[in-house]
Structure 1
Amino acid sequence: MYKSILLMFAIVAAVSSHMEHYREECKNELNIPQENIDNYKNWKFENDDHAPCYIECIFRKIGLVTDGQFNVDAIAEKLSTEDKTADELKPDIESCIDNTITDSCKRIFKGFACFKENNLYRVKASAQNS
């Protein structure tokens, strides 16, 4: 169930030039210190008030979030691999979405954390392919 969100974060952690560009844009838009960005690259998001909106910003820029809502189809497609198709991933992704959370940054971050919990390998694999 957490696979999709983890894959999304793998995308966030990607070292590609696109990701670096998005990181810089989100850092500037949200006035996030470089030290925090360095922590995010190392999967350290704990106790950081900037992390939820940073993740929302990155996901929005890469098309995984639209109007504050997860784009489940895009996420599933991005995280699909030989062992699991996009259609097979959708229920896992959807199970991590908590639409009772009204703050979009917190909702996106919680979904990300949920998926990351059990699917970090998918996220990292996706990031390598971005």
Structure 2
Amino acid sequence: MKFLLVLVLIPACVWADHEHGHHDMSYVVKSHDDLVTYRHFCAEKVHASAELVEQYKKWQYPDDAVTRCYMECVFEKFGFYDPEHGFDVHKVHVQLSGAGSTVDHNDETHQKIAHCAETHSKEADSCSRAYHAGMCFMNANLRLVQHSVQV
């Protein structure tokens, strides 16, 4: 189950749009139960097959239309991705740090999140932006993300 939480949190971290200043410092860190609820909702919303859902549980996210929109949906439900504005890097960073943690938005983690979000901010559609930014962050920081969500 921790893997599922990490899955949702990692890509979310990638999509913060800190340049637009739409971050909200009152962001409430979401729980594992929230993640489970979001995963079920989003799998149904995008009509993900049982096979795809099983792949997601194993950290396997194929680059297909269903998976891209599934990831976008989960990030939206977490409250740190918006199709119009992209990711709120600050919220992603707070989520990864966990409830009650002090977050230094000038640290290396924040910069990595911002880099991935910015690198993919010009993709043609929202699902692709969310997916590719999330994969960027996961591929570059998987160990860090796994550690940061072990609550």
Q: Please give the TM-score of this superposition, normalised by the length of structure 2.
A: 0.68
Matches within 5 A, 1:1-130: 8-9=9-10, 16-68=32-84, 69-80=86-97, 85-88=104-107, 89-97=109-117, 98-129=120-151
Percent of matched pairs sharing the same residue: 28
CA RMSD of aligned residues (A): 2.8
Task: Provide closer, same or farther for how the CA distance between residues 54 and 90 of structure 1 changes in structure 2, counting only shifts above 3 A.
Answer: same
Comparing 64-73 with 27-36, greater Cα deviation is found at 64-73
Q: Which runs of 5 or more structure 2 residues have no equivalent in the other structure?
A: 1-5, 13-30
Number of aligned positions between the proteins:
121
Aligned-pair distance for 1:46? 2.3
Q: Please give the TM-score of this superposition, normalised by the length of structure 1.
A: 0.77
Task: Provide closer, same or farther for how the CA distance between residues 6 and 18 of structure 1 changes in structure 2, counting only shifts above 3 A.
Answer: closer
Aligned-pair distance for 1:7? 7.7
Aligned residues of 2:68 and 2:131 also touching (Cα < 8 A): yes
Aligned-pair distance for 1:47? 4.5
SS in 2 for 1:50: helix
Specify the code of the residue in structure 2 equivalent to 1:40: Y
Aligned-pair distance for 1:22? 0.7
Aligned-pair distance for 1:79? 2.3
